[in-house]
Structure formats: C-alpha cells, structure tokens
C-alpha cells in the first residue's frame, strides 16, 4: 500500500467513525466556488468521507472501503494494532479458544496427499473408525488428493458447526472408505510435549497461550512432579503468545507471594500491577526457560518475570520484542479492531518492545545478516536502557529478552545432502512410507523403551538412503553421510515415533538429544547467584 492510498483510507475510516459512531455534524462553508472545510480534524475528515460517497466517479463499495480504511488507519499507529475481518477474526479466536468445531484429526501433507497423524480421542472421527495413517482423498465430493490442494483449504472444508455432517473419503491400505462424520467440539492442545529428560529434569513445551494453557501446564507439571521432577526445562521457543491472563497464571506457578510479574501502563490507562499469589505448584522447582527470536508477547512476560526475579535462567537467543498489549473492539459483523492500549513492563521496569521501523517485519532477517544469530557479541543491546534484577544483575530493555546464556544458530550441520532432503521433504515422506509398511507394529507401541528397541532393530539408515536415492535421486557425497548421520537419524526416528501412541511426546523425546539448546540447558545450573 502506498502512502497516498494509506492516507486515503485513513481519511475514509475516521470519517466513518465520526459520521456513524460519534454523529458529529459536518461544518462546511462554500466561498467563491471553493470548499473550505473546518480545520478541526474530525470535521475535515468527515466531510472528505461524505464527499467521496456523493461525488466519486463510480459506485463506491462502502463496506470494502471501510475495511481497507480501518486497516490503513491502524497501520499508521503501530505494527500490532490491527483490523481483523470476520474470517481472520474467526481463525484468530479458534487458535486461542482452546477448542474448535470440526471432525477431530491432525494431518500433514508430505507428498500431495494428506495423511492423518492423530485421531483425537473421543472426537467425531475416532467414533466412526478413522485411524492414524489414513490418506484423505475427498471431502464430500471435493477431491483433495494429488491435485496440490492447499492445506489450509482442506482444514476449512472439514471444519464446521457442531452437529453438521461431512463425508470424508480415505484410503487405508488398498481400501477406499467413506466416513460419514457429524462434527463436534474438538479440544485444541497447547502443551506439545511433557516428559522427563532424566531422573530429575522435566521438560514441557508450550506452543501458545490459549485459554487453557495454564490448565494444561498445571496438569503436565503435576504428572512430572509425580515422576520425581526437581528441575524443569520450560520450552517457549517459537511461542508467539496469546492471552495476557494466561501469562499471569503461568508466571504465578513459579513465583513467591507478592513477587512482581508485570505491570501495564498507557496514556489513557493508569498503571496496573500484577503480583504472584505464592500458591504456584512450581515455586520450589528449579527452572530454565528456552527462548528464541520467535518467542513473543505472553511468552516474553513469563520469561521476563523469571529473569527479573532471578527465579531461574533464560537460555537461547534474543526474543522477538513485543511489549504492547492489545484490546479487542468487536463489531456486529464478526470483525474486530485490536488496538494497542498499553505497554507492559517486566518487574525491573523495562519495556521490551523493539523500536518501530519502516521494515519492522524484517527485523529477524536483519538479525541474521548482522550476525546476531551466530555470535553473542553481535546481539543488539541498548546500553541506555539498563535495569537491575532482584539480585542486582543488569538486564536491558528496548528489544526483547536477552537470554542469560546465548545459544547460536548451528549452521555446521547443514550438509548439501541434508539441505537437498529438506527441500524435497524426503525425511517426512520416508517416515510416512515406513509407517505404511509397519503400521500394525508401530501403532501398538505405547512406551518409550519399547519404541526405542523397535527402532534400534530396524535398518532405518539403509532404508532411508535407498528411498532418497530411488525416489528423489539424492545420494550423499563421499564423507557427507558421516557429517549428516548424527542429526538426521534422530530426526527420522522422531518422525517415525510420532506415529506411535506416544505422538508428539515421542517426536520431541527422540529428537531433543541433538537439540543444542536443550543440551546446553542440561549442562547449565538453573539457579542464579547473587551478583552474577
């Protein structure tokens, strides 16, 4: 959008707001054939909107113009104030609501045909007999296999109001089976994985701060405490946030009574402090938080509370840097404005919102080009925004949470063979083919020891190399497999293990041993010393 178009939309939007919501009377004076609108901004803009409606050369689609105007107006404020049309608003609410209405399956599309990864227990698809590994061929009469059908469009076809029906046709082995499914309410989980890394250390990976985030983490934590957990690796990498109140409840799990979690303040909003109740079940557990450049918003509130209270150690790379709070303003048509109404501040008093810029959305790219993702010395720090933690450690505002322990992006493992396999999704397609050949055995496995023994007994290496060569024409160069095997084999085992009853827990437990950030976390004391 050009500046001229944005200005036009801004004018139109503000005119609609005043003309429709505020009912401001337009004052215009006609003098010597020239219109002289009042220089009171609102009246000037309202007049402009009315002028467009009455005099534009063609018929004006006021709904379309208003939507565009709202988007243009909000984009002139800050990068996170936004207008969400009805469809986008529905998607955003579904992602955070904790449940949606549909048929209850998870799938991926490794080779132009969707494959069921999980059939949610108790959901509509399980009730009619759909199984993990089924290939999705049609939704009602719409063919979705082998036609490069977009994955998000598949989701939209299968989702729908509870109580409505849809026919999903699948291929299972050599059989084609149509399932008549009555849609229902499906829970959306935000804890991707929770298990013990060793006898003392638990691991919880949280993907988003949906409406049930605290309940899921609480349940996972209680299970791990029952297994002897004394330390916790809390993985918030790639967690882009969600509901503010969930960040408060999750932070409260770790902190003593009256310890500061966060405070909010804006021009039209007085300071609002939030402190811990001291009732959290993890307040006596050692903790480290894993973050990266995609850790944002609510995730940064939790990370900042842990860091500023010297409650634990933060490990990884500088977080995204979103220190703004949005408040929704819904409209009757299902759309909504999300307007930034305040900034949030970590317990030490820092706002971690990164500076606005014309290329704000390319900030992560700039971190790569500047070397920040690879060396600690290149991390961008504004020394004028220095603050002190409870124990007197120096932390910085103005651009995300800077971790206590830096972990660079590892590029040493990216052999040409590995990159070529990634481009063609060879690993995922192989895992899918492997599952097809061993379905009955894999789907019966429900514990890690059995899964690892089974995988150890399979010639995964030989089968994968044969598959890559025959299907994709890919062969490692001399000496290349030796450099690739260490991290590619765990990935293959994890992708296969995901098809067992252990699901995502199997994937992460099998893959994390080659996760450099987790490795460093396991070697790092979780407690912070005074004066560190």
Judge whether 411 lies within some domain: no
Exposure string over 315-343, b if 16+ CB within 10 A, otherwise e: bbbbbbbbbbbbeeeeeeeebbbbbbbbb
Judge whether 253 lies within some domain: yes
> Where among 187, 209, 235 does a domain terminate?
187
Please say if 501 is a catalytic residue: no
Average pLDDT over residues 54-74: 85
Q: pLDDT by residue (tens digit) across 352-376?
A: 999 998 888 889 999 999 999 999 9
Residues 294, 160, single domain; the answer is no
Residues 398, 444, single domain; the answer is no
More confident of the two residues 9 and 423: 423
More confident of the two residues 3 and 84: 84
User: What CA dihedral angle connects 146, 149, 153 and 158, to 10 degrees?
Assistant: -10
With a cut of 50, say whether residue 19 has pLDDT above it. no
Please say if 380 is a catalytic residue: no
Residues 129, 196, single domain; the answer is no
> Where among 42, 61, 76 does a domain terminate?
76
Taking phi over 0 as left and psi of -120 to 50 as alpha, with beta for the rest, 371 belongs to left
Model pTM score: 0.82
Mean pLDDT rounded to a whole number for the chain: 86
With a cut of 60, say whether residue 14 has pLDDT above it. no
- Split into its structural domains, the chain has a count of 4
pLDDT at 98: 65
With a cut of 60, say whether residue 305 has pLDDT above it. yes
Q: Exactly one of 275, 322, 354, 509 is catalytic; name it.
A: 322
Please say if 308 is a catalytic residue: yes
Range of the domain at 130: 99-187
Q: Exactly one of 308, 310, 363, 515 is catalytic; name it.
A: 308
Residues 115, 134, single domain; the answer is yes
3-state secondary structure of 137: strand
Judge whether 458 lies within some domain: yes
Q: Exactly one of 81, 251, 297, 348 is catalytic; name it.
A: 297
> Where among 125, 160, 187 does a domain terminate?
187
Which positions ≥6 away from 239 have C-beta within 8 Å? 206, 207, 208, 209, 294, 295, 296, 298, 299
Helix (H) or strand (E) run with residue 254 in it: none
Judge whether 530 lies within some domain: no
Residues 176, 281, single domain; the answer is no
Residues 262, 360, single domain; the answer is yes
Q: pLDDT by residue (tens digit) across 225-278?
A: 999 999 999 999 999 999 999 999 999 999 999 999 999 999 999 999 999 999
Q: pLDDT by residue (tens digit) across 82-99?
A: 998 887 787 777 667 766
Query: What is the CATH number for 150?
Result: 2.30.42.10
Residues 228, 360, single domain; the answer is yes
Cα–Cα dist 196/273, whole Å: 35
Q: pLDDT by residue (tens digit) across 155-194?
A: 888 888 888 999 999 998 788 888 888 898 877 789 999 9
With a cut of 90, say whether residue 18 has pLDDT above it. no
Cα–Cα dist 400/304, whole Å: 9
pLDDT band at 12 (very low <50, low <70, confident <90, very high): very low
């Amino acid at each position: 959008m050009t500046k001229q178009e944005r200005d036009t939309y801004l004018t139109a939007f503000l005119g609609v707001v005043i003309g429709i919501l505020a009912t401001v009377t337009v004052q215009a004076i006609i003098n010597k054939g020239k219109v002289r609108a009042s220089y009171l901004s609102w009246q000037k803009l309202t007049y402009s909107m009315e002028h467009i409606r009455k005099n534009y050369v063609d018929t004006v689609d006021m709904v379309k113009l208003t939507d565009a105007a709202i988007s243009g107006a909000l984009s002139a404020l800050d990068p996170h104030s936004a207008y969400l049309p009805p469809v986008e608003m529905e998607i955003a609410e579904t992602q955070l609501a904790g449940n949606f209405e549909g048929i209850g399956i998870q799938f991926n599309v490794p080779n132009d045909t969707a494959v069921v990864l999980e059939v949610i227990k108790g959901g509509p698809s399980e009730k009619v007999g759909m199984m993990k590994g089924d290939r999705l061929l049609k939704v009602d009469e719409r063919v979705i296999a082998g036609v490069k059908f977009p994955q998000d469009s598949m989701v939209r076809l299968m989702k729908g109001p509870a109580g409505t029906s849809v026919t999903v046709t699948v291929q299972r082995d050599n059989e084609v089976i149509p399932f008549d499914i009555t849609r229902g309410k499906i829970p959306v989980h935000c804890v991707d994985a929770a298990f013990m890394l060793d006898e003392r250390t638990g691991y919880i990976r949280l993907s988003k701060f949906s409406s049930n985030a605290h309940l899921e983490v609480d349940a996972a934590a209680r299970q791990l405490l029952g297994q002897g957990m004394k330390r916790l690796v809390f993985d918030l990498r790639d967690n882009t946030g969600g509901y503010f109140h969930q960040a408060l409840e999750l932070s409260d799990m770790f902190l003593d009574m009256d310890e500061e979690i966060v405070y909010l303040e804006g021009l039209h909003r007085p300071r609002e402090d939030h402190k811990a109740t001291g009732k959290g079940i993890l307040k006596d557990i050692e903790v480290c938080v894993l973050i990266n450049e995609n850790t944002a918003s609510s995730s940064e509130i939790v990370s900042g509370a842990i860091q500023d209270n010297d409650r634990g150690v933060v490990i990884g790379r500088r977080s995204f840097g979103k220190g703004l709070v949005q408040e929704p303003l819904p409209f009757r048509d299902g759309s909504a404005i999300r307007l930034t109404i305040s900034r949030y501040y970590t317990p030490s008093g820092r706002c971690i919102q990164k500076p606005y810029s014309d290329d704000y959305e390319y900030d992560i790219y700039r971190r790569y080009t500047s070397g920040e993702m690879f060396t600690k010395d290149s991390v961008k720090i504004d020394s004028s925004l220095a603050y002190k933690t409870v124990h007197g450690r120096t932390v910085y505002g103005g651009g995300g949470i800077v971790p206590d322990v830096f972990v660079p992006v590892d590029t040493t493992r990216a052999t040409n063979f590995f990159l070529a396999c990634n481009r063609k999704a060879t690993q995922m397609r192989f895992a899918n083919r492997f599952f097809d050949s061993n379905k009955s055995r894999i789907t019966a496995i429900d514990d890690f020891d059995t899964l690892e023994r089974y995988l150890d007994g399979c010639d995964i290496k030989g089968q994968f190399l044969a598959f890559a060569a025959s299907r994709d024409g890919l062969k490692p160069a001399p000496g290349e497999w030796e450099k690739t095997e260490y991290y590619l084999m765990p990935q293959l085992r994890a992708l296969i293990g995901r098809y067992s009853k252990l699901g995502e827990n199997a994937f992460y437990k099998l893959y994390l041993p080659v996760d450099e950030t987790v490795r460093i976390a396991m070697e790092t004391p979780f407690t912070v010393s005074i004066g560190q």
